[in-house]
Structure 1
Amino acid sequence: MEELVEEALSHPAVCHPYLADLAEGNVPDLGWAIRDFAVQYPGYCAHFPRYLTMVISKLESPDHRMTLMQNLIEESGMLDEEEIAVLVEHGIDPEWVQGIPHPKLFERFQHAIGVNDTDEVADDTLEVICWRESFYHLLANGSPAEALGAIGLGTENVVNKIYTPLIRAIERLGTLDRQQYVFFELHCEVDDDHHEALLNIAHDFTDNPQNRFDLRKGMLKALGLRVIFWEWMHKRARRGGVDS
């Protein structure tokens, strides 16, 4: 399991030049690039409860289902006392996030970065639709182990490493306060629990070679889909919105 975790963390989906260029400000217009991310990314991430629900439906163990149900509850904005304590420790006011569904936290970020025109975000681009539908298809049609590999090892396992450079980019821009981009810090600080829970479930699926194969297959498919999205976003960011 540790080898799979490390393989995911060293994958181009996690170490992509797009993320590095945003973090270092190596794009023609950093503000435009961050706004573009704010427009495009919800077409995938706002559907996370749907992804989780699909994985839950594929699990036979009541304990496994209950664990992911807790993750689903947290996606709706309900944090327990231990998670609230973690936020306070990192200087995050619980009132910024408690009871607020994660898509609403992302909308807060969108508005703060200047994405206010509802027409601008009304229709997802084809590239985002392909990512979302391909990922959901992977979860729906893969084995339980493959679905776990995709959403656990290939997604929750890498969230911290992906959002950290985005936070650096936002801080570099210098126009937002922490409450406005708390969506990203929340996932970096609290998602460790999600990550560990999914890894524990995945570990229970390593009892035979086929399950181990499927875990890695799901992980690599999920990471590969993210790379395709990053490549597209990187091209747009390097053009700075010109003919994007």
Structure 2
Amino acid sequence: MHFAMNALESARAELTASVVQHPFLKRCRKGTIAMPVLKQLLVQQGHYSRHFTRYLCALMSNLKSTDQILALAENLFEELGLTSDSPTPHSVIYKSMLERFGLNLDTGPAPLPATLALINAMSEHCRDPNPARGLGALCLGAEALVAPVYADIMAGFASQGIGGKDMEFFRIHIECDDGHADTLRDIMVLTAEQDPAQLDIMIAAGRALARARCDFFSAIEANHFQDESILDAA
């Protein structure tokens, strides 16, 4: 157990460090990120996040243990607004946040290719009949990254004078997603105990999603700079 736990925690620290060093998040922390870029982030993140319950359900459908399914069901219930401490569906909270910025996923910018690649990568991993791939993707490549990444995003908005209820979606997930990551990690440790070969598969899945997330941030900034160039040339 100790070997698997240590390996997974080491991978978690490594991948978190690599993602938070992305220039986009550095600019958020420094308060030098532009508001139009943050708005693009909200739309593109919304396209990805709106599929989260599908990712989670796909992974749950491949788990063999009822206890493991029930453990992940807590996350699903929170997303759907079915718990006493999370009575509003997170999709509704996100939609309200977008509306406060004059944004709408259905009428706003379409997903960028890198956003679609991130969505597809997570979907494919979570649908894989081998749950190790979905576990690694959802834990190391998503839930374990939420607290530091969202904290940086909130810092970017704070530099623009925006906080409080406008950032409720990010605050909620900072508070709860470390616990979700720990639940997934515990399942991963048991998976590795039963079949040590699955450990490398889970870590590789996490790395694949961390790379896709970095590509996602790069594409948002590149799209912003491209839009600025078009306006300058007009």
TM-score between the two structures when normalised by the length of structure 2: 0.87
2:9 counterpart of 1:2 = yes
Which residue in the other structure is 1:59 paired with?
A: 63
Contact 2:63–2:131 (CA under 8 A) maintained in structure 1:
yes
Matched position secondary structure for 1:187: helix
> Residues 79 and 193 of structure 1: is their aligned pair in 2 closer, same or farther, counting only changes over 3 Å?
farther
Which residue in the other structure is 1:120 paired with?
A: 108
2:22 counterpart of 1:16 = yes
2:60 counterpart of 1:73 = no
2-structure distance, mates of 1:116, 1:139 = 27
Q: In structure 1, which of residues 1, 26, 33 is the aligned counterpart of residue 32 of structure 2?
A: 26
Contact 1:75–1:101 (CA under 8 A) maintained in structure 2:
yes
> Residues 188 and 17 of structure 1: is their aligned pair in 2 closer, same or farther, counting only changes over 3 Å?
same
1:117: Cα distance to partner? Answer: 8.5
Name structure 1 gaps, 5 residues minimum. 85-97
2:166 counterpart of 1:160 = no
| AA partner of residue 102 (structure 2) | G
Alignment of 1:179-218 (within 5 A): 179-207=165-193, 208-218=195-205
Q: In structure 2, which of residues 110, 115, 121 is the aligned counterpart of residue 134 of structure 1?
A: 121
1-structure distance, mates of 2:105, 2:196 = 50
1-structure distance, mates of 2:72, 2:26 = 31
2-structure distance, mates of 1:113, 1:242 = 24
1:183: Cα distance to partner? Answer: 0.3
1:111: Cα distance to partner? Answer: 1.6
1-structure distance, mates of 2:187, 2:31 = 38
1-structure distance, mates of 2:197, 2:106 = 46
**Residues 138-176 of structure 1, C-alpha deviations (whole Å, 9 max, x = no match):** 2223621121011012210111011011000111111x3
Contact 2:114–2:212 (CA under 8 A) maintained in structure 1:
no
**Residues 4-62 of structure 1, C-alpha deviations (whole Å, 9 max, x = no match):** 22222222x232111111332334xx221111111211111111000000100110011
1:65: Cα distance to partner? Answer: 0.4
| AA partner of residue 218 (structure 2) | E
| AA partner of residue 200 (structure 1) | D
Contact 1:135–1:225 (CA under 8 A) maintained in structure 2:
no
1:3: Cα distance to partner? Answer: 1.5
Alignment of 1:146-157 (within 5 A): 146-157=133-144
| AA partner of residue 120 (structure 1) | G
1-structure distance, mates of 2:228, 2:117 = 21
Question: How much identity, in percent, do the aligned residues show?
Answer: 23
